[in-house]
Homo-oligomer: A and B are copies of this chain.
Amino acid sequence: MHTDSACEVRCLHPEAVQRATQALEAEPDLIGMASLFAAFGDPTRLRLLLALQIEPLCTCDLAVVLGVSESAVSHQLRTLKSLDLVESERRDRMMFHRLTSTITEALSAVARSHVVGSLTSAEAA
């Protein structure tokens, strides 16, 4: 089968296309990376992660901090746990949730510097 010989496709720079395509094929964890970014891409989840950067919190504390229901927190925590971003431990009657790694710090630092950089260059007044 000929994938790129379709008649209506106009590929103007075949070599460049091939280089880019190969680069993407060499990225096996692309979906995993996108999922990770998507987790950070929701304001509620990002705030949850940043809150846990200070100290571990229980579900209902998180609900108060984030201003959503405890159910919503639990749903988001499930997502974050599946991505190995958060781990939980029972203490007293409640579950305490904490970050598993420093990736939250690393990613948010990079993002923060880009955003403030864009803002200052956008102000420029």
Contacts and interface: CB of A to CB of B under 8 A. Distances in A.
A22 to B, nearest CB: 9
A21 B10 CA distance: 53
Interface in A38-66: 38-43, 46-47, 50-55, 57-58, 60-61, 64-65
Contacts of A11: 60-61, 64
B37 A111 contact: yes
Number of copies: 2
A37 B46 contact: yes
Contacts of A54: 16, 19-20, 23
25 contacts: A16-B61, A17-B61, A20-B54, A20-B57, A23-B53, A24-B47, A27-B50, A29-B116, A30-B46, A30-B47, A31-B43, A33-B46, A33-B115, A34-B46, A37-B38, A37-B41, A38-B38, A40-B41, A83-B118, A84-B118, A84-B121, A84-B122, A101-B114, A103-B114, A107-B107
